[in-house]
């Protein structure tokens, strides 16, 4: 049996290639409301947070009463480019391999439940995951509640749970929940920032992530 019997994936930037679309939507929403437009690095840094938390970081001077309007403009720009969203190459095969090994899979994401449901149904991946947690159900990452609730629901312990994500928010959440983590550097945050949080490994492709899991199975056998 693999060492980890619960693997929790982030969604944006980890399973779905969406970072560029999110950056564009954040920048366009800022422009629509007359706010300074964040540069790419600033916009990428907030990927993975809940939407309201992300917008507060990129538009700190916006009156609180206008954040719902900015969120609406963000969604408008995001969905106007939804045709550009794809799963990273190899994601489907990775999920199939893990399921065949008897691993329980879950998602912990900064997306809303509605947004995640739309993505899961679009890509036909809903059956792959046994539990989901979203930013409108729990405090935003890096708060550990998403992982705590997933472990409780699925009957797993922190020492047998692995969080996989492309942002420091994901890896900090894992640290806060007492679980191991793996960083993926093909998403929103650079590899150096991920490695600074001491994940088990930091990989630069889904193929490398698949190889990591294969080595885990081999080691345990």
Catalytic (active-site) positions: 10, 12
Q: What is the dihedral of CA 148, 193, 182, 46, to 10 degrees?
A: 50
Question: How far apart (Å, rounded) are the C-alpha atoms in residues 146 and 29?
Answer: 27
Asked if residue 158 lies in contact with residue 178, where contact means CB atoms within 8 angstroms, the answer is: yes
Residues whose CB falls within 8 Å of the CB of residue 129, separated by 6 or more in sequence, listed in order: 105, 106, 107, 120
Which residue's entry shows tokens 């917008």?
A: 55
Residues whose CB falls within 8 Å of the CB of residue 113, separated by 6 or more in sequence, listed in order: 132, 134, 136, 137
Which residue's entry shows tokens 């979203």?
A: 134
Which residue's entry shows tokens 């206008």?
A: 66
For the chain, helix, strand, coil in percent to 5 are: 50, 15, 35
Residue 178 is encoded by which pair of tokens? 């007492």
Tell how strand 16-17 and strand 86-87 pair up: antiparallel
């Amino acid at each position: 049996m693999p060492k980890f019997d619960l693997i929790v994936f982030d969604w944006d930037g980890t399973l779905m290639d969406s970072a560029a679309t999110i950056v564009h939507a954040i920048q366009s929403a800022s422009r629509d409301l007359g706010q300074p437009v964040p540069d790419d690095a600033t916009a990428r840094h907030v990927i993975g947070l809940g939407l309201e938390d992300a917008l507060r970081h990129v538009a700190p001077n916006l009156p609180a009463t206008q954040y719902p309007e900015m969120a609406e403009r963000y969604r408008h720009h995001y969905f106007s480019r939804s045709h550009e969203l794809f799963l990273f190459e190899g994601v489907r095969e990775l999920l199939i391999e893990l399921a065949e090994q008897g691993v329980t899979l879950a998602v912990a994401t900064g997306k809303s439940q509605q947004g995640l449901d739309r993505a899961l149904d679009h890509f036909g991946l809903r059956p792959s995951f046994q539990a989901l947690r979203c930013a409108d159900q729990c405090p935003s990452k890096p708060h550990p509640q998403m992982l705590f609730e997933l472990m409780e629901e699925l009957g797993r312990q922190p020492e047998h749970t692995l969080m996989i994500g492309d942002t420091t928010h994901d890896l900090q959440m894992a640290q806060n929940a007492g679980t191991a983590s793996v960083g993926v550097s093909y998403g929103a945050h650079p590899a150096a920032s991920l490695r600074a949080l001491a994940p088990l490994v930091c990989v630069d492709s889904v193929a490398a992530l698949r190889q990591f899991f294969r080595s885990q199975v081999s080691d345990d056998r």
